[in-house]
Amino acid sequence: MRCSPSASLPLCAFGDFSLVHLAFGYEGPRPTGDDFIPYDGSVAKLDAPKDSGKLHAFRQAMLLNGVDLPGKGMFLTCEHTDADHRRDGRGRFPRRSS
């Protein structure tokens, strides 16, 4: 669980296992354990309508830093080797210059 109180965008990440959700505009209490869910789990607040302008700006900022995050949630994986990180995004290893 990570919250970003020092950033200009009030945001909190929460979830379990490999599913992570982002709560934009969250300014409530910060997590103290792994069972944290913002807004005391209120579905009405967690599933509130999206502010498309802020979501678009956030996605653009993430893209500028090499991460494509199309919404407010994501799956995380860690099944990567050092060799996977050297691939070019199409499953191929880049050519080495001579």
- SS3 of 38, please? helix
User: pLDDT tens track of the chain, all 98 residues?
Assistant: 444 445 566 788 888 778 888 888 888 888 888 888 898 888 888 877 778 888 888 888 888 887 788 778 888 776 667 776 666 555 555 555 55
Residue 83 in tokens: 């060799």
| Residue 80 confidence (pLDDT) | 67
Cα 97 versus chain centre, distance: 35
Q: Is the pTM of this model over 0.75?
A: no
DSSP 78: -
CA 36 to chain centre: 16
